Amino acid sequence: MKSEAPKESSSTFQNSLMKNFESLTPELQEAIKDGIENEFCARDPLYWLQRHTKTRDDHWRDKGTEPYCKFPTSKALPYMPRLFELLRSERRLFIPKSREMMLSWAIMGYAVWLCQWTENSQVIVQSERESKSIDLVVGRGVRGYCRVLWEQQDEFLREKHALTKAIDDMPGDLLSWKDGSSIRGVPSGADQVRQYHPALFVMDEAAFLTEASASYDTAEPLSTQIIVVSSAGPGWFADLCQSVLDGA
């Protein structure tokens, strides 16, 4: 019988792999590391949000900290992993929230992630007022949520997921990528969403949106995914959430 050659042990293989890696130029090593991190980010939006970008802290002066900070860890916000599971699996998602939950940042983070790692993805974000929609996207004066998330991510990711033009030249309500993806903010009203067929439609503070129910009904047949989020308030959003709880 022909004897088999001894199999290379796992540790020997790893050592060999490490030596080969260390023999590469520093530039090539860095490119490989960046490629691996980009792949990790592509697989997990929360991984990207917590490790590779920052959010805006409007109270940084009172705290004596920096204006931009890392997104809280899952230990600090233990509901985040489950939230992101739902964001990635559910076509229709209603999320009641309270202050300090970081839900607006989480959902805008998910929207930016979707645009950066899924080409030709259109996201529409609807808020009660145009000024709020602008604040959630690029911003005007104060940097908007999506702008901050793109701008504060690592340089190699900004280069990998380039915008269509300089971010200072973007309108306050629109952030667009070279891969064909975009995030657009619109004010309340069913007519504001009728012309779009988005991959993701976000209704922010839905309890306070004018024509919230009509906007949802308009977007329902046109949108691949709809996320409705709001703090407490009477009306369509509260009634719908209560009906789900009553039927549980």
The CATH class of the 44-247 domain is: alpha beta
Q: Which two tokens stand for residue 25?
A: 């130029």
Any idea what the Cα angle at residue 166 is, between residues 162 and 170, rounded to 5°? 105
Instruction: Show pLDDT as tens, one digit a residue, over the chain (248 residues).
Output: 555 555 556 677 667 656 665 776 878 878 888 899 999 999 999 999 999 999 999 888 888 889 999 999 999 999 999 999 999 999 999 999 987 899 999 999 999 999 999 999 999 999 999 999 999 999 999 999 999 999 999 999 999 999 999 999 999 999 999 999 999 999 999 999 999 999 999 999 999 999 999 999 999 999 999 999 999 888 889 888 888 778 75
The closest of 181, 242, 187 to 211, measured between CA atoms, is 187
Going from the C-alpha of 168 to that of each of 11, 121, 129, 139, 140, the distances in angstroms are 50, 22, 22, 10, 10
| Interior/surface letters 4-14, b for 16+ CB within 10 angstroms, e for the rest | eeeeeeeeeee
**End-to-end Cα spacing for the chain:** 66
Domain residue extents for the chain: 44-247
Q: Which two tokens stand for residue 90?
A: 């559910």
Q: What distance in Å separates the CA atoms of residue 102 and residue 71, rounded to the nearest whole number?
A: 9
Residues in the chain: 248
Query: What is the value of pTM for the model shown?
Result: 0.89
Q: Which single residue is written with the structure tokens 């989020």?
A: 229
165 in helix, strand or coil? coil
